Amino acid sequence: MTSHVLFGRRFRLVRTGQFVLLVAAGFLVVTTLTGLRSQASAVDTVDRWLGNSFGLWAGAMCLLRAVLVREDRLPWAVIGGGLISYGIGTIYFYTVVTELNPAPYPSLADAGWLVFYPAAYVTVILLLRSRLSTFHPSVWLDGLVGGLGVAALASGLAAAAVAPATGGSLATVGVNLAYPLADLLLLMLVVCAFGVLGWRPGGVWWMLGGALAAFAVADTLFLLQAATETFAPGGLHDVLWAVALVLPVFAAWHRVPQSTTARMTGWTVLAVPAAFTLTSLSLLVIGATTTLPLVTVVLAAATVLSALARAALTFAEVQQLAQTRVEARTDDLTGLPNRRAFIERLNAAEQRGRDGQRVALLVLDLDRFKEINDSLGHDIGDELLIGVGQRMNATLRPGDLLARLGGDEFAVLLEDADSAAAGRAADRVRGALRGPFEVGGVTLHVDASIGVATHPTDAEGAAGLLRRADVAMYAAKSGRTGVEHYQPGADGDTLLRLDTIEALRAALDRNELLVHYQPKVDLRAGRTTAVEALVRWQHPTRGLLHPDAFVPFAEHAGLMRAITLEVLGQSLQQCRRCWDAGFEVSVAVNLSASNLLDSGFPGHVVARLASYGLPPRALGLEITETTLMLDRVRSAAVLGELRKLGVRIAVDDYGTGYSSLSYLRELPVDELKLDKSFVTNLDEDPLAAAIVQSTVGLAHSLGLLIVVEGVENAAALQQLKDFGCDLAQGYYLGGPQPAEELIGWLRRHDARRLAATARPGPARGAWT
């Protein structure tokens, strides 16, 4: 059984435990508020058992969080121990102390309860440190100011109220004051944390703050009742204690957003020390007219002096904040960790990996993002990146790290994960991105290419792991496979990719791109009525390259718009030559996403047609289903303009993408071009034949022509004619022809057609 499966089962167990704990707390609240506890002994027994064991349950759940999730392990382990101590104190109180007459006060139960508070202090500080990019010395001064201020206020209250009510017993006064004093310190720490993190710190801090507030109110009620000897179990204080014990469990298992690294900026960080400084100044003023204990006056004066030291330190921190901004580890756009933060975490994970822990890395790059960014604008592109980050983050486990490395490139760090678990995570990410994105009033579909590498299988060092995941990502992009795992020896492809992109930029300037033309035959007339333009690259050292060798790199580098316009110009020029030679064939050019999203593209088409004196019917444009679905609304607008001009629109590779009938109704389309995969074994595969025949019927019922590619033999050709296909292309009918040979091929093909029609029977070689 893989670690990923075990991990998933453990987390389902945790959710069950949280649910049971919540139900138990609800039961306690209902029985207390409705009075069922005092009316039914069985309810009272169950209620007391649940209430007494809350601390143990809550502590165990927090400790389990520390065991299963590496991130922030120490703070949750500390508070888990504190909650267990609190639970032990509760059980001792209700099973031992309450049975004694008279009940001792204070007792050992108080020791168990009071241990919780320093554990909570440490937890708050540790969680705060994990959220701050830098932990300034002023935080310690804030704590000192707050602590002295609380002590001064508490000593004054003790002299004024608590001591007279309790008869002045030192032990009783000390314990009675310990609880509200400890609660006040905790609340001070949480408010200080809110001041540092901002007033939207996330669910963890709201739940912790709510728990500590509930503790403070409950302890205050307990103090008042104990001082007046009216305390009785089962009151509102028990409900508040139960709530205060449940909330930390949900805080521990709440997924913390990765966009929350904070800096200590703004006036809010001064709120807590300022409040306690004013309180201490008030005590000093009151002390001038009223008799206060000496300790209260000393503590108040120490609070003011500490506040002055804090103010002096603030001026020094202002300069440090400027450097902190430069060293920020958060991506400004998405709020995710940036490359620097990710590398630091990756280095730390790699160090732990040397002790035997497996580490997996995903590097993700959005397909055709540059075309979206260039065509729709950077504002749309930025909003899309934000949405992509949010969707990906939702698919990850607690403890996984998602970062934006730059541009449209993201990375995911999976600790304690092997290659199989990484593959499943990659599939979840791609699945989350398949739905449409509503961005700035535009509906977009995006896909991603993901590379996977693991430590220590694929690389030892963090830099090597990132490089090999990047290599795997480009393998996925070039092969259009979606996800690829690193394969040994694939590093050489990286250099080839970089060299290809740079050489391709130069090729556009040096006119190294060529266009070959593959005939499309009208099956009814038996003659060539159109050709498809297929780009080639006459590479100076590698020879003639087909599209698969460079188009994926061109898409990633944002060169497809320039390549399409180059192919369009050459194709219309060749079409003009054919028309001058007496062959009025049309030429079909493949469009990229950047052309389809470019509202100015129809104007380019009009200008090019006019420059060669060709009517719009001389041009056809082919678009794949995937490209059409990138932005259906914008695609419809651009294609609608082109169709109004008289340019024919064809859906290429039909049957391999979305294949949704709705877009055929919504988009201006003239032809369906059935993918060759359905024709390859047409004469041997009845199912393929049925699909082709039904597609022909569908196209004709919608008023569309059907074009079939991949015709390789006479038998397939005959079947397609019998099915009623309109046009066909393939090597049996004629392979791609260089521009200088196309007119000669058309002449030879026309002569063979005439010769074939003059003979009484069909000639097998008449199409070649």
H helix count then E strand count, the chain: 28, 17
Q: What are phi and psi of 22, to 5 degrees?
A: -65, -40
Nearest residue to 179 via CA among 112, 228, 131, 236: 112
Residue 516, pLDDT score: 96
Tens digits of per-residue pLDDT, 62-105?
Answer: 888 888 877 778 888 998 898 888 888 888 887 888 777 776 76
Rg (CA), the chain: 37
Instruction: Report whether 29 contacts 66 (CB < 8 A).
Output: no
Nearest 5 degrees, angle CA 685-CA 687-CA 693?
A: 105
Residue 492, pLDDT score: 56
Was domain 339-490 assigned CATH 3.30.70.520?
no
Residue 158, pLDDT score: 52
Measured distance CA(293)–CA(274) in Å, rounded:
23
What does the DSSP 8-state code read for residue 548? G
Measured distance CA(357)–CA(390) in Å, rounded:
28
Q: What are phi and psi of 589, to 5 degrees?
A: -120, 135
Residue 136, pLDDT score: 55
In the annotation, is 438 catalytic? no
**CATH class of domain segment(s) 570-762:** alpha beta
Residue 757, pLDDT score: 44
CA distances from 551 to 100, 471, 499, 510, 562 (A): 85, 17, 14, 18, 12
Instruction: Report whether 97 contacts 109 (CB < 8 A).
Output: yes
Structure tokens that stand for 224 in this block = 């008042």
Nearest residue to 634 via CA among 249, 426, 418, 376: 376
Measured distance CA(354)–CA(624) in Å, rounded:
47
Pick out the chain residues at pLDDT < 50.
1-7, 39-40, 42-43, 161-168, 259-270, 277, 280-281, 283-285, 287-288, 322, 326, 659, 754, 757-768
Measured distance CA(199)–CA(260) in Å, rounded:
12
Q: 3-state DSSP call for residue 491?
A: coil
Nearest residue to 169 via CA among 179, 160, 158, 180: 158
Residue 622, pLDDT score: 92
Q: What are phi and psi of 666, to 5 degrees?
A: -85, -30
Helical packing angle, 271-289 and 294-326, nearest 10°: 160
Measured distance CA(651)–CA(585) in Å, rounded:
19
Residue 182, pLDDT score: 73
Q: What is the pTM of this model?
A: 0.50
Residue 267, pLDDT score: 42
Strand stretches in 655-767, DSSP E: 671-674, 705-709, 727-729, 737-738
Which H or E run contains 362? strand 359-366
Residue 264, pLDDT score: 45
CA distances from 478 to 368, 547, 631 (A): 12, 11, 23
Q: What are phi and psi of 288, to 5 degrees?
A: -75, -20
Residue 474, pLDDT score: 83
Structure tokens that stand for 584 in this block = 């009025």
Name the catalytic one among 229, 709, 712, 741.
Answer: 709
Residue type, 759: R
Q: What are phi and psi of 521, to 5 degrees?
A: -105, 130
